[in-house]
Amino acid sequence: MSVQTIDELTVTGLVSDATAAPSMHNAQPWLFRYAPGTRIITMSADLSRAMPHEDRDGRGLHVGCGAALLNLRVALAHLGRRCETTLLPDPSAPGLLATVRIGSPTATDALAELYPAIRERHTSRFPFAEREIPPALRDTLGGAAGLEGAELTFLSGPHLRSVLDLIADAEGYSLMDPDRNAERAGWTRNSRADVTTDGVPDYAFGPRKRGGSAPARDYAGLDAVKGRPMADFEDRPQLALLSTAADEPADWLRAGQALERLLLVATRHGLTSSFATQALEWSDLRWLLRDPVSGSGHVQMVLRLGYGPREPRTPRRSVHEVLTFEG
């Protein structure tokens, strides 16, 4: 394949891989456009999928789009292609999140090794085993985040208990907020009645939490789901904070790339993951998630990692809904 020839079928496959990324409530808030003349794939925010109540500043939207951007880079590496990525290329157009210029063939790229994990990675809202992640693997995950400009910190002791309390507080606050409740409910799907291409379908809710310390967001809210079981979650959850030094839109995009990179590495090592974003959705609580000793960094994601069951993947929109071609 020469530098000049990137056909529409190839680009469609690249974007399909990109859209396998996680996003808040599986809203998939991204749009892609390919310009054959310049070999540039543009990624923009799909603001029709923004969440003005739970994600007021759009931080979560940027993190999700950053994760899709990392997948795109991995897919290009798998094809043996270099790429040049520019974040927020036009200050006058904040909705234009990134451009990726497809470059010449390359022999090696470490990202290519992560490609098989793109389709294997999934979010699990089920209980994990009480099995500790080895220290060496924790370091590997931290190194993956560091390559994208973020820091991963596993929690323990008082800081872990404080974060668990903040998550529980945020969950309670959200249940008492009708606007947030309605927004979340708008992204839940009855898989028996809906044609499901986005959002969180009921089969992915996981069981209702009966016991345990691990955070388990209940997408059913106050509603009952017929036949849904109850289960005990971990007593010793393994939570980690993903943080960046600054807290601007470009940092949110970097955090999303770091998040997906470490998740792909985790998947390759047999780990399962879920997110505990409740406290991140309240600005005053998000600030309190920081390390009380160092007080540094801006928390972009709270991760629950461990050894859990591989549940069905959540659905994705058709690539034809999110990708256009110039000319």
Distance CA 294, CA 296 (A): 5
Instruction: State the Rg of the chain over Cα.
Output: 19
For the chain, the straight-line distance linking the first and the last C-alpha, in angstroms and rounded, comes to 22
**What Å distances lie between residue 253 and 153, 246, 303, CA to CA?**
19, 12, 17
Indicate the length of the chain as a whole number. 327
Calculate the CA 169 to chain-centre distance: 22
Among the listed residues 265, 264, 275, the one whose alpha carbon sits nearest the alpha carbon of residue 304: 275
Ranges of H-type helices in 79-217: 117-120, 135-146, 157-175, 178-185
Give me the amino acid identity at 274.
S
What is the pLDDT, as a whole number, of residue 231?
96
What is the pLDDT, as a whole number, of residue 2?
45
Distance CA 290, CA 285 (A): 10
Distance CA 137, CA 122 (A): 19
Distance CA 327, CA 186 (A): 35
Q: Are 184 and 219 in contact (CB under 8 A)?
A: yes
Among the listed residues 25, 2, 3, 18, the one whose alpha carbon sits nearest the alpha carbon of residue 314: 25
Q: Are 322 and 29 in contact (CB under 8 A)?
A: no
Give me the amino acid identity at 129.
A
The residue behind tokens 């323990």 is 156
**pLDDT one digit per residue (tens) for the chain, 327 residues:** 445 568 999 999 999 999 999 999 999 999 999 999 999 999 999 999 999 999 999 999 999 999 999 999 999 999 999 999 999 999 999 999 999 999 999 878 899 999 999 999 999 999 999 999 999 999 999 999 999 999 999 999 999 999 999 999 999 999 899 999 999 999 998 877 777 899 999 889 999 999 999 999 988 876 667 778 999 999 999 999 999 999 999 999 999 999 999 999 999 999 999 999 999 999 999 999 998 887 779 999 999 999 999 878 899 999 999 999 997
